[in-house]
Structures are given as structure tokens and as C-alpha cells.
Structure 1
Amino acid sequence: MATGKPKFLGGVYSTPQLPNFTAYWNQVVPENAGKWGSVEATRDVMNWTELDAAYNLARTNGYPFRMHVLTWGSQQPTWIETLPAAEQLAEIRQWYAAVAQRYPTIDFLEVVNEPTHQPPNTTGGGGNYINALGGSGTTGWDWVITSFQLARQYFPTTKLMLNDYSVENTAASAQRYLDIVNLLKARNLIDAVGIQGHAFSTRGLPVANLTTNLNTLASAGLPLYITELDIDGVNAQSQLDDQVQLTEYQRVFPAFWEHPAVKGVTLWGYRPGHWRTAQGAQLVNEDNTERTAMVWLKNYVKTTVLGTAKADNAAVSLCPNPVTSGYFTLKGTDNLTTIRVVDIRGQLLREIALRNQASVDVKLDLRPGMYVLQLLDGKTISSKKLVVE
């Protein structure tokens, strides 16, 4: 569907989702096969069968492959939960090393999944090994940092990703997630930011709010990926309703697909048998006939021209630069919709909305140093360096 586009549109690997997979999707992620509890349910007995199949599907077709997932607080081996911390860490290292050895060309690696919702600190499948990774520590997220340090060691050429849900639906959750991303970025440990994009996070969320929260997450300067998209398709009576699903697809999907920081979108299942079948999130029926939202989606992806991110915007001038008084003026901003000021850690300091303004005067109370102005026109993100003396 997205062949020839600058972004991929991927699908999840599981038996119910395989029919006609390559007719629609050009990126692969395993649904359950890559979870530690699936691979090593019994200590030192590794079951790679399904994960091999998902990996080979990607490699055979030349699709990007995302490994889901190394460290999480769900679907983990129960045998690790009662081991001493040192032994747990040794097992975690063995798990990382085994994945790295078996799958040398992983494109994207989810190092930690759902850190703000399901850390590995419980029993009954929750891992109970958070302290072996350093616990909260001095940063509040030392266990996440340790996980990424291990991943850099075992996967030196792979793009490392953090992944979580409901981080795009409120400003507070987006900022909390960004704080973790920036801790990792400051240590050169992260390459991409995953946002699951489930229906329960986007339903009822105004698109303007969704875009603002995506902008917050994009302020770290890392590519964003929508990793587990699903959009429900039932009415108030829990009956399949194509119009309900179509309307929500037309509202939500473009906000993700057209955002300049989003470099790929993956659906978390598109046929009956995926985890939100009861909510009608499938895009095709059991007989493989396409629902209305799928017909629309194919046409939308085919016909939508996507913009690209670019570096310095020569059409926009910044004066004075360096800034000494806190005041500066941007000219040539006629086509801009938003200006964001971020520091070198990617922290968003100020966001200014524009509407057909040829110039804009800005007053900022900033410490001396280097900053970046991100200039958005709805299709691209360009930038200008700002020096404050």
C-alpha cells in the first residue's frame, strides 16, 4: 500500500494476520513471538519458531523488521521472578545476546516497552527484575537507562526504540514520556520513539491536541513511529459499523501519517483474530472482503503527497543572532503554522502558533547558550540555530 512512499505502513505478524499480508503492508513486527515469555517460557529452552518466521517474512520481502520486545513488565518468564538480582541480570544479558546473535539485521529494536505503565516489577509474568537493572535510581528511570546501555552493547548498529501507549493523549503524559526520551538521548542511547496509537488513546481526542502532543514528543529531534495502531469499528450497540470506523480513520489516521516527524505507521492487526476483534478494529472481514475504511485507506495513502523534514530554512531570516536582549524577529514566516523553541536536550521551551504572518517578534527569557527554532508549515519541519549571549 505504501510502496514508493517515504514512510512505511506495516502490519503485525501472527497467524490470523498473514493472509494477503504482502498485498497491504511493507514492514513487519511480531505480535507475541518476540516476547521473552514466548521464547523462553522454560529456562534455557528457546522457542524461536514463530519469531524466525516473522523475521524471515521481512527479510524475504525486503521489509523493515521491528523486534518486539526485550524488556517489559508483561509476558515475561515466570522462572526469572524469584532469582537473586545478580542472577536475573545475567539472564537478561543472555536474553539480549541470544536475540542479537540469531537476528543480526534487526532494523528497529524495542528495548523497553511501556515504561510508564508496566515496568518489570511484579510477579505472575511481570518479570520482577526491575531492581536487577538498577531500579528507579537517581534519575527515576535508571532501569530503562541500563536496558538501553545493554542494548547498545549487544546491538551496536540497530536503531534502538522506546515504546509506550497513551503518551499522545494528554500534555502531561507526553511530557513525562519525553523526559525519559531525553534522559536516553543525553546518553546517546536512543534512535527512535515509539507511540502505540491504540483506539482507547485516540478516541474522543481532538486532532489539535493529538498534533500538539506529537509536536512535544518530536521536540527531542528523534523520528517518531506509530507502532500499534488500531481504530475501532462498532456502534453504541457493539455491532460492526463501517461508517463509525471510516469516520474515525478519516479523523485520526491523517494526523499520524502526515505529521512530519512520524516516519512509519504499523497496524496492530487488520483481520479478525487480532486483539481488538470485539471492538471491530479489523479492516477486512473473515472472507477477506474489505471494509469501507480499508477502501478509503488504500486510496488515501496512494494519493496523499507527503512532505519531508529539512534542515536550515534559508527563506526565513532571524535577526539579531546572537540575541543579547531576549528579543529577536523572524521574517519570511508567511507559510509557517508553528514555531517551537527547544534546547539542546530537545526540551520544548516555547510554542508559538502563526497564521499568515510575514514576520513575528519574539521575546524569550533564556539562559546563554545554543537553542534550535523548529519551523513547521504543516508538511515539513525545518530549523534555525539560535544563539543567546
Structure 2
Amino acid sequence: MNGRTVTLITAVATAASLFATPPADAAMTLGSLAALRGKHFGAGIDVGQLGDVPYTTVLDREFTAVTPTDAMKWDATEPMRNQFNYTYGDRIVAYARQRDMTVQGHTLVWHSQVPAWVQSLDPTRLREAMIYHIDRLATHYRGAVRAWTVVNEPLDGTGGYRTSFFYQRLGASYIADAFRAARAADPGAKLYISESDAEGFGAKSTGLYNLVRSLLAEGVPVDGVAFQGHMAAGQVPGGVAQNFQRFADLGLDVVISELDVRVQQPRTAAKDAQQAADYTTMVRACLTVPRCAGVTLWTFSDKYSKIPYSFPSQGSATPWDVNIQPKPAYTAIYNTLLGG
């Protein structure tokens, strides 16, 4: 790091201490600050948001990576058997390329948002369809995505296998099959397993740890673990960094892939403060672990957050409000990336 960069960071840190929110024209952004720490800072987006100029202005300024929230899922890309539609995913990839953003593909195998025709298949045809779907999708985006969420949410709340239709018909072997198919289709992409509610120590994270360790022992090409990071304010578990580190000690990358912190409505100053503290905890956990590749928000504005649909009495889960104005959580993240 040269003297000019150190001087710039010092000046921005001083400014951040004087203003409740860093000015929109601040010399550094979340993405550039994260890059100085060797991390990406991303946002989950979808094509319907790309025409929203106030939204994309913030997206372009603050973020270095994007994840399509829905555009690459099975129901969007292969709604009918062997009839592929890459239109929405292609638009996001093109948008990212024009702005030098990286893309994380999401997701190749998940029990949700799967067409009915897939769920009706017998075991033999289901395995064939899964491998073919992975091959077509990952081959189409070969070289365009930095990483793939290969298998999403394979475990239940106890840390055992989720009894999805994939598991019921194919057994646990579908996970290894999916990773091997993804590696064959795109040898250059990082391959991640993704799970929810596994950020801290507990039965689920231990189940995930044991699953990943067994996959590695079998030579399955798992490169990393995506911890989603869907949090309720005031309920971030302890030991997040230590939990991340035990996965990193297996030789794996870790990422926070879908971070949001929901609050009970209505929003208040006290709830904003708690949310800001929780975002600080999660971002700092990533900064603490050298093999944490980065953080992705899901998404960055309450205008497009899906939290109110999943949790009707909760919301305000992101660092920007419905008018795409920064909240205290933004300042907290900014200052944490500065080294606070």
C-alpha cells in the first residue's frame, strides 16, 4: 500500500467520524474498501431492478460483485425439460461485465423454485436431469461467473439431511454428483455449498462441517462454503468468526452470501442501532478470517427486500431504506471496512 493510499484512507476515516453517514461522493466505497482488505462486496440483484436509476446508481458506485437472486434458478432457466432460457441471467452477466463486477452463479441444485416436471421424475431420470441441467447451465456461463452455488440448503435444522425430493429419491449422493458435474462443466469456477442458519456453532453448522469434511475425504471438488447470513436483529450468534475459521482450516473459502438483518416493525432508532451493530459483527467476522472471500447483501435496499414476504411482521432488513437512502447500518459497514 503506497503513501497516497494511506493518506487517503486516513482522511476518509476522519470524515467518517464527523458525519453520521459518509457523503455520497466519498473517495472510497464499500466495494473499494473491501477490495483493500482482499474481499469482494456484493449485492443480490435481479433484472427487474436494472431499470431503476437511483438503485443502479448506488449499485454501480458501491459494489464489486453481484449474485442473480432468481434469474439462474431452475424454474427460470429450464421451465420445460430441455428447453433452456438464459435471457435474464445473460442480462445480469452483461451488466456486471460492463462495470467490471464479478458474478456468483446461484443456484444449480435447490429443492425450491424447481419446475413441477423435475419433481415428478423417477430416481434414474431425476439424476440424469440434474446432471444435464448443471452441465448446460454451467457450460453456458463458463468463464462468466467467479463461483457457483452448486447445492443450496441440503440440511435441516438438526444438521441432518433435508428430506427434499432430491434426497428422498437419490440419497445423499446427489450432493457429490452435483459438484462433480459442475466441475466438469466449468473447471475454472469456485464451487460452493450454501446453507442457512449455520453461521455460529450449533447442530446445523456441525452437521455442515461434517458433511463438507466427508465430501472432501471422497475427493468431491468443494471449494468453499457460503453462509447465507439471514439474521434477526439482536440474534446474531456468538463465535461467527471462529466457526468460519474451522471451515477455512479444511482448506476452504468461506463467504457471507445473502446477508440481511431483519427488524420487527415498525422501525425505530433503537432498532436501527441494533441492526447496525449486527451488520458490524458479520462483516468483521469475514474480515477476521483470511479465507473469507467477501460479503454479499440480499439485497441492499428495503425497496427490493423479500423479507416482508417471508416474515410479514418484520422488514427494514437492508442498509438502504425503501427510498434508497443509507441507514445507520451503511455507516457501520463503511466504518468496519475502514478498520473500525
Q: Normalising by the residue count of structure 1, what TM-score does the alignment of the two structures yield?
A: 0.68
Alignment partner, residue 261 of structure 1: 291
1:67 to 86, 105, 127: 105
1:116 to 139, 146, 155: 155
Structure with the greater alpha carbon radius of gyration = 1
Question: Which consecutive unaligned segments of at least 5 residues does structure 2 have?
Answer: 1-29, 309-313
Distance in 1, Cα, partners of 2:153 & 2:316:
24
Alignment partner, residue 127 of structure 2: 89
Asked if the contact 1:8–1:26 (Cα under 8 Å) also holds between the matched residues in 2, the reply is: yes
Asked if the contact 1:109–1:160 (Cα under 8 Å) also holds between the matched residues in 2, the reply is: yes
Asked if the contact 2:300–2:319 (Cα under 8 Å) also holds between the matched residues in 1, the reply is: yes
State the SS of the aligned residue for 2:225: strand
Q: How many angstroms does 1:244 deviate by?
A: 3.0
Confirm or deny that 1:275 pairs with 2:306: yes
Distance in 2, Cα, partners of 1:261 & 1:174:
18
State the SS of the aligned residue for 1:255: helix
Confirm or deny that 1:298 pairs with 2:326: no
Taking a change above 3 Å as real, the CA distance of residues 120 and 70 of structure 1, as seen in their structure-2 partners, is farther
Taking a change above 3 Å as real, the CA distance of residues 292 and 153 of structure 1, as seen in their structure-2 partners, is same
Distance in 2, Cα, partners of 1:52 & 1:21:
18
Taking a change above 3 Å as real, the CA distance of residues 157 and 256 of structure 1, as seen in their structure-2 partners, is closer
Alignment partner, residue 286 of structure 1: 322
Confirm or deny that 1:252 pairs with 2:289: no
Taking a change above 3 Å as real, the CA distance of residues 299 and 168 of structure 1, as seen in their structure-2 partners, is closer
Asked if the contact 2:236–2:278 (Cα under 8 Å) also holds between the matched residues in 1, the reply is: no
**Superimposed CA distance per residue, residues 195-242 of structure 1 (whole angstroms, 9 cap, x where no aligned partner):** 111114x843453x223322322221211111111123x35x533543
Alignment partner, residue 177 of structure 1: 208
Asked if the contact 1:80–1:129 (Cα under 8 Å) also holds between the matched residues in 2, the reply is: no
Taking a change above 3 Å as real, the CA distance of residues 130 and 46 of structure 1, as seen in their structure-2 partners, is same
Taking a change above 3 Å as real, the CA distance of residues 240 and 95 of structure 1, as seen in their structure-2 partners, is farther
Distance in 2, Cα, partners of 1:38 & 1:129:
19
Q: How many angstroms does 1:148 deviate by?
A: 1.2
**Superimposed CA distance per residue, residues 30-51 of structure 1 (whole angstroms, 9 cap, x where no aligned partner):** 1011110122223333332221
Distance in 1, Cα, partners of 2:163 & 2:115:
13
The code of the aligned residue for 1:113 comes to N
Alignment partner, residue 221 of structure 1: 251
The code of the aligned residue for 2:322 comes to E
Taking a change above 3 Å as real, the CA distance of residues 229 and 49 of structure 1, as seen in their structure-2 partners, is same
Alignment partner, residue 71 of structure 2: 33
Q: How many angstroms does 1:10 deviate by?
A: 0.5
The code of the aligned residue for 1:189 comes to P
The code of the aligned residue for 1:2 comes to G
Taking a change above 3 Å as real, the CA distance of residues 121 and 188 of structure 1, as seen in their structure-2 partners, is closer
Higher helix share: 2
The code of the aligned residue for 2:335 comes to N
Question: Which consecutive unaligned segments of at least 5 residues does structure 1 have?
Answer: 123-127, 136-140, 306-389
Greater RCO (Cα-Cα under 8 Å, separation 6 or more): 2
2:60 to 14, 18, 22: 22
Distance in 1, Cα, partners of 2:98 & 2:77:
22
1:168 to 188, 194, 199: 199
Q: Percent identity?
A: 24
Distance in 2, Cα, partners of 1:178 & 1:279:
31
RMSD of aligned alpha carbons:
2.4
Q: How many residues align?
A: 289
Distance in 2, Cα, partners of 1:129 & 1:177:
17
State the SS of the aligned residue for 1:199: strand
State the SS of the aligned residue for 1:57: helix
1:42 to 66, 80, 83: 80
Q: Normalising by the residue count of structure 2, what TM-score does the alignment of the two structures yield?
A: 0.77
State the SS of the aligned residue for 1:288: coil
Distance in 1, Cα, partners of 2:87 & 2:266:
36
**Superimposed CA distance per residue, residues 67-125 of structure 1 (whole angstroms, 9 cap, x where no aligned partner):** 10111111111112222322222222321122133212121011100111397854xxx
Asked if the contact 1:169–1:213 (Cα under 8 Å) also holds between the matched residues in 2, the reply is: yes
Alignment partner, residue 44 of structure 2: 12
